[in-house]
Chain A
Amino acid sequence: MNDFDYRSPRSLDEALAILGEYGEDARVVAGGTALVTMMRQRLVQPRCLVSLRDVQGLGRIEANGGLRLGALVTHRDAEVSPLVQERIPVLAETFRRVATVRIRHMATIGGALAHGDPNQDPPVTLLALGATVNIRSARAAREVPLTEFFRDYYETALEPGELVTAVTVPAPPARSGAAFLKFLPRTADDYATVAAAAIVTLERDGVRCREARIALGSVGVTPLRATSAEALLGGQPLGESLLQAAGEAAKTAVDPLTDHRGSAAYKREMTAVMVGRVLGQAWEAARRSAQARP
């Protein structure tokens, strides 16, 4: 690794001030699982590393109707949190699928979002759930819907000098069910070959779909929503042919890269399969929810 200045601010304002001081030569580090790995490979060589470890106030999980997860909440925190497990269990399950416990003890949700790797799992579920990213700069605060947050491979809507401070997840509506599927045929702790998350909300009749959201990971340069597949589902009752049609439609939304986890063609085919399955699971969960609380 290159040598660098290492700063350990104790407050968000202090961290933002240091970022302003160094400009593009500084990088923020939280758990370091992505950044330190890249620095060890000399792919990234910042002049200054701003550690957020001691910054107060960013590590909380709060319920507010939905959930608000501070940027420094680790994957492990979110995975085992009773609040997350009770209110949005699909999110806890998603965090649980990431890598290993070692990584999850260090890697933070804010760092994961800022890293912008389309192969990560939590952004997929967060995208389906309609999450919003809370961002601070030295001068201002803003919110960006996750649907607009990811721009390209490793590129997000974060401007220089900005930090993710939290991610806000709305409570799933009544008569909703959600599911997350991570398809990784080779090893258990890798990134997905294809990842899919779906949330289905049913009409009052508990049969027809009011709204569905489908998000996909590892099949493009960003995590993405399969909007053309979603459009097929509104007003429809569940059926095998509908799930298949949605899966086929999802194939048009993806542009996978060939790598050691699969060829682009294979990932495209598996997108259809995983979308069909995750939709089926989410629909079942929605039906149970509608029966329990119509």
Chain B
Amino acid sequence: MTFTQECVIPVDRERLWDFMMEVPRVASCVPGVEAVEAVDSGAYRGSLKVQVGPIRLALEGTITVEERDRNAWRARMRAEANDRRLGGGIRARLGLTLAPGESGTRLRIDTDLAILGKIGEFGQPVIKKKADAILAEFARNLQTALAV
């Protein structure tokens, strides 16, 4: 499934870009992310916990920065994570674009998400709602982190 999300962060573009390219720091702003560490240049390993009511996902995997273009203010990332207990996982391609926005920077995230196995059978529609909730909290955490 593909979807696009946008939020406005009240920081200028350069500062937001520099922050977002530090993957462990920006990953810690995503609610449910734990323990992100570099594997090698451009690749990071970590875990993400997501809860939908009684259903708890514990995703473990890697995120790789495939492309960063500071001139065009665009980056592409690839994420792969599995939940070994449930026997499912996600494969995502993320496109990040930064544009000047009213009182800050407009961050746009284009996601191409494949949900595999049990998680996918459960409720694709719910995933989108969850992604929106995660992004909203991510934006709040980002603002807090950048206000420091």
Within 8 A of A (CB), among B103-148: 118, 121-126, 128-129
Establish whether residues B55 and A38, one from each chain, have CB atoms under 8 Å apart when the complex forms: yes
A43 to B85, CA, bound (A): 9
A154 interfacial by beta-carbon distance below 8 Å: yes
Q: Does B72 contact A (CB under 8 A)?
A: no
How many Å lie between the Cα of A42 and that of B52 in the bound state? 14
Interface string of B20-60 (1 = CB under 8 A from A): 00000000000000000000000000000000111110000
Determine the chain B residues whose CB is within 8 A of the CB of A221 once the complex forms.
Answer: 129
Q: How many residues of A contact B (CB 8 A)?
A: 17
State which size class the interface on B falls in.
Answer: 10 to 19
- Give the chain B neighbours of A45 by CB distance below 8 A: 85
SS class, residues of chain A in contact with chain B: loop
A27 to B, closest residue via Cβ: B54
Across-interface contacts of B128 in A (CB, < 8 A)? 257
Q: Say yes or no: A153 contacts B54, CB within 8 Å.
A: no
Confirm or deny: A56 has a beta carbon within 8 angstroms of a beta carbon on chain B.
no
A41 at the B interface (CB under 8 A): yes
* A residues near B121, Cβ cutoff 8 Å: 41
B118 touches A42 (CB 8 A): yes
Contact across chains for A154 and B54 when beta carbons are under 8 A apart: yes
Contact B122–A153 (Cβ < 8 Å): no
Q: Report if A41-B118 is in contact (Cβ < 8 Å); known contacts: A153-B129, A154-B52, A257-B129.
A: yes
Residue of A nearest to B54 (CB): A44
Tell me, yes or no, whether A122 is within 8 Å of chain B by CB: no
Q: Which are the 4 A-B pairs with shortest beta-carbon distances?
A: A154-B53, A257-B125, A43-B55, A44-B54
Q: List 15 A-B contacts (CB under 8 A).
A: A38-B54, A38-B55, A41-B121, A42-B86, A43-B122, A44-B55, A44-B56, A45-B85, A116-B53, A152-B53, A154-B53, A154-B55, A257-B126, A257-B129, A259-B125
